[in-house]
Structures are given as C-alpha cells and as structure tokens.
Structure 1
Amino acid sequence: MIPDRAPFAEYPEHSRGRLVPEPISRTRNAFARDRDRIIHATAFRRLKEKTQVFVAHEGDHYRTRLTHSLEVAQIARSIAHALRLDTDLAETVALAHDLGHPPFGHSGEDELQAQMSAWGGFDHNVQTFRVVTRLEERYPGFDGLNLSWETVEGVVKHNGPVAHRLDEPAWKAIVDYTQGWDLRLDTFASLEAQAAAIADDIAYNNHDVDDGVQAGLFTLDDLAGVPLIGPVLHGVRQDWPGIDERMVRIEAVRRMIGVMVEDVLAETERRIEADAVRSTEDVRTARRPMVAFSPAMLADLGVLRKFLFERMYRHYRVNRTRSQARRILAEMFRLFMAEPETLPPEWSGKALAGDEARKARAVCDYIAGMTDRYAIEEHRKLFSLDLALDL
C-alpha cells in the first residue's frame, strides 16, 4: 500500500494561504478548492473551442485546449499519486496551465505578441497568471480567483525558475504582483507543479501523433522508423495482428503514454535519491528539476518532435490555417485600436479609460479571451457588410 504523502510533497494544511484571507472550507482542502474555482471559471469553459494545432471548425475529434487540459490533469494526477505527492495540487496546476492561451493556438500567440510589441508584448504564461489573479471577475471581494500561494506559484513556475525572464516587458504584471506577495521566482516550483508540466509534454506529444494520423498528415507506416512510437507500434501489431489501423493507433498512443510515464517515475525517483531531496525546500532550491525524462527518453522525444515539426506543424494545410488565423487577429486588433467604440461596452470602457498602452492591453485581453469560433464570427461581423444586421 502506498503511504499517504512523501515528506517532499505539498500539504494543503500547510499552505501559505491566499492573498485575500478567506474562511477555511468545510468540504474541501485548499488545493481542491483552487481546482474547483478553475473549473468554474469562464476562461476554463472557453477552452472547449480553443485548439492546439487544428482550428475548432476543422473537425469534432481533434483535441481542444479543454480536452488537452483534462488529459494533462489525468496524467499529472497519476504521476503525483505514484510519487506520493498531493494529487489535488498537481491536478489544479494542470487544469490551469492553458487558461491564457488565445484563439488559434501558437499562431494566435505569435500574432498578439507582434501586435503588442510596442505595449509590453504578450506571453500566454503571463496571460494565464493574469486570468487567475485579475481578469476573472466572479467574486465581490477580490479580482481573479484568489488561489492559494502554491497554485499561483505552480502556474507561474511550472516550467522552472523565471527570474531570468523578469526583464521581458510582458512579465511586468508578475513583477508588480510579487512586490506584495513573493512567489520566489528564482526557485523551482513544487514537485506537483513539475508533474503538471511534464504531463503537458506527455499529453501533447501523444495527441499530436493521434490527431496527425486522423487528419491524414501522415500514416502509421510513416511512424514505423521513429523512436519511441515505432517500437510501440511494432509491439501492438505483434500482440494484436488482426486489429484495424484505427485500433492500432489508439492502442499505440495508450501504450506510449504508459512508457513515458514510467520513464518519468524512474528518473524522478533517481534524482530525488541522488540529490537527497527530503523536503519542499529541498525541491525549490535544487540544482535541477526533479520531475524529468531520462536522457534516453529525451533523445527519442527529440526525434519524434522533429518528425512532428516537419510533417505536421509545418504542413501546408496547417500553414494555411495559421496564416488565416494571424490575419483575422491582426485585422481585429488594428480595428479595435483605431475604433475602440466598436468593442462590446464592458471592453470599450476599459479601452477608453487610459492611455494607448492601457487601450492596447484591453484590446489584447478581449481578443485573447475569444474562442476560435467566436474570433471567426466576430471578424466576419466586423468586416462583412452583409452581416451588419447580425451585430
């Protein structure tokens, strides 16, 4: 039987609390309460029509940011359970990690960064932070979700220390915030947050293989010589010689997730032992992340990512969608900057309440919160005269 929690796990009863103190819940610990607040957030619901590689209208079976976040949360929780960490915190950081993504995936982020270059830039990780600390408006007593210190820390630092990024204009929001609540930006986050970060890597590498095959960008045979997935496919076909290609794909992805999770567990346990990690402070002040892939797995993943980059992320069909997406956001951004009165009232008020930088940030926040489908429809209404009556 696995003991309750390891000494280097986070304990909700020892949380550093919330920026605005609140009474303790009778029904949930601090991290479970954070999780529930994220699930009920407007930004979380919008993830259902924000996509990874494919735009929402291209098909119902491809992953969205919402289904991706749920997959990441499941993997993160499994890793945390095996390592005797706090599963609620790992799940919470996983569910929150993509809240700041704009429509159209990385294409949307690239375009907003370009449009905001004169006014502080755009970074989806910082936007996630702004969503949970400011932009969500659900409580009369505070802006944002008033999450516990450990959850906010995990949102900001799940990929490692961020002190080296604080000179980037987009990170000013985090710099300002930490003047009043120190998130220790020069240290690692908890093991639970690290589990969520590596679960993200596991999930997207596997679902990009799955979605790429379904989209016809490449075949299972094309993957036969690719490390990691190739041997898994061979094993599936040996074990189940009579099944169809659809089931081969599904079983191979399932097995590959398992292989990657087992590798993470073995490497993490090795690092914890080698670095004598015995407490949460040891985790934060370590010389390297503790939750990690082995060198052999990283090498195999490098080859797989190269394959996906060449055959999927830069496929001409994906490039066309990326080009369209960037034009949609660029045209809307320029219009709203020139004519902020065309924004919905709750956003035009923010855009008109300050200088050009504040106007640009309000426009950016409005666009970043859009789903793919809403962005497409909003663009049509703004630029197609035949839709004027639908405004």
Structure 2
Amino acid sequence: MKKPVYLDYAATTPVDPAVAEEMIKYLTPDGFFGNPASRSHGFGWQAEAAVEAARGQVASLIHADPREIVWTSGATESDNLAIKGAVAGRDKAHIITSVIEHKAVVDTCKWLEARGVEVTWLEPGSDGVIQPQQVFDALKPETILVSLMLVNNELGCVTDISTIGAELRARGVLFHVDAAQAAGKIAVDVATMPVDLMSLSGHKVYGPKGVGALYVRRSPDVRIEAQIHGGGHERGMRSGTLPTHQVVGMGKAFAISELGLVDEIRKLEALRAEFLGGLEGLSGVSLNGSETCRVPGIMNLSFEGVDAESLMLGLRQLAVSSGSACASATIEPSYVLRGIGLSEELAHRALRFSIGRFTTSEEIAFASAQIVDVVTRLRAVR
C-alpha cells in the first residue's frame, strides 16, 4: 500500500467529496456566506434557507420533524445540553446511565453527581450490552432521565432502545440517546423509537467536524434549559451564530447516508467478514463485546500475548486505535473494556478496528495480512 490504510472510522470519517463540494458554496464571496440570523437582506435569507433545508435532511434520516432538530457544535455539546438541560432547575433529581457510555455522557454525569445529583451507574455483561431490566430495576420515583448510547463507540454493541424507551415513556421518565455512532450506520426511526432526546454528530457520518444536532421531541413536548445564552437562537435552546457551511455539510452528509444506507450496511457486513476471515489462521484472537448485537463497522479485538501499544507500533501502515479518540491522551486501558469485565492485562491487549464507506477489499486483505504478520513476530520474541 502506498499510503496507510485508515481503519479508524469510529474516531472520525473523511468528508464525502460531494459534501465538501456543497460546503464551499457557503464560504466564498460569490456564494451564500451570509449570517442565517440576518433577516434584513437577501444574504441572510439565503443562508437561513440553506440551514432550514439541512435541518430537514438531518430530520429525514431519523424520521423526525425538522422543528425537533437543534443545531450544536457536535455530539459532545448535544450530550451536555440534553443531560444538563433536563436536570436544570430540579430540586431533587436521579439519573441512570452506564459505565461504558461516551466520555461526553460519563463526565457530564460525574459533574452533576459532584453537585448533588444522584446517578446510578449500570454495568453491562461481558457482551457489552445493557439489558432493559437493569434500567427498570434502577428506576426511582425521583428518576428524571436515563441516558444510554444506541451504538457503543468502542465495541459496536447495540442497545435495545425501543424496549427501554417504551417503559420509560409509560413512567414519564425522559430518555436521552447518544446516536453519534448509529446515525448513518443502522436504521434510526424516532417516529417509532420512544426517545425524547437524541445526540447526533456531523463528522461520524462523512460530514464536517464542529457541527452536530440534538433531537428534542415535540410530542409529547420535551423542555430542556439552554446551556449557552446570547441571542435565543434555535428556539431558545442554543444561542450562537450558526456556521452555515458546516450545517449544510452535515445536512448533505445525512441525505447521502439516507439514500445509501441499505447498500452501505451490506458492504460493511461483507468487509467485516473478509477482515475476520483473514485473521482465522491466527490463534488467540478474541472479539470483545457481543458477536451478534452489533454494527458491522466496529471490531474490538484482543490478541493473546501481545500488548496493544507494541502491536500499533508494528502496524505502522494501518491507522487504528486502542480505544475512543476522546481518551487517546491517556495510557490507561480502556474504561469501556474494564467496564465489561476485562482485566487490565486483557484490556491492554485490545485494538479497535473500524471500517467505513471508503474502505476497500484490497485494504482489508492488506490489513489482515499485516496483523497476522506482526502478531506472529511479536509472539516469537516474547
């Protein structure tokens, strides 16, 4: 391979060329560069129209009403807005979440916990899945919010959102779902899923970084308190001048994903089978998390007798990670892997391989061959 093979799509995706082409129209002097909040001239009207069109595209992918989409700077802000916004102003509040959520949820809940909010931390089984009954058993009269991710960003495991949401809706408990790794990867339909708040990201779906959205259900009406003030934009839930080019990019990316979702899932399933098939001759390889209840694009593997750091150094022609990009600054083993019961030693032997739209069969064959070669060599010199 002339250039490194990118197998870190769960960290970020490249911007689709069609998305980049659309975005440039809203940046330059001969384009639609106006402030979408400027209502006194055509430049602002054109930008506002583009923002609203993109809002509709994002809503369409998850089968929402465009009025239920609130623009943010990314899924991290969306998580913060949903959780803090739901708790704000409550005298007594109880939240339920899990120990393997994204840091944007974990750290937000810890911040609230330090300020007197009661938090129940659910622990998944070895398959990385939170069972609905765990959630139901943890409910209290003062529970106001449950926050769980649809697809885990390190394991690829899928949570049974529909079953959990139906019970929470019946009990009047708000349900927040981080769907950053789910949108564009699996079918997401808030018209049938009993979800009240859903976090979305642009750069996980072949759109630009720095833009995201929060779905806020209108029927029944969900109220959250703004965390950023200064102008009352986004129906008073999130102030700030919208970056039209990024918003347009996210909308275009979601529209592309909606049109090609079925074919893309089929492609990723085939590539996953090729990748794992290429490792069949290598002993001591284990898949972390559920083998069946998962998306095809994320594979977290442990290699017996080989630590992840040494393996990554040997795999210089592959771009992979040992966990979530948000925690890459630490040398500690993944808290997600520890959360599903792996020992520190086993967690240190794990790497996450994630594939996507632009991954090819040739890259998969090259990657699996490289892994077999490097693991074999590292084991030989133990």
Check whether TM > 0.5: no
Q: Which has the higher contact order (CA 8 A, sep 6+)?
A: 2
- With normalisation by structure 1, the TM-score equals 0.28
Q: Give the number of the structure whose residues are more often strand, by fraction.
A: 2
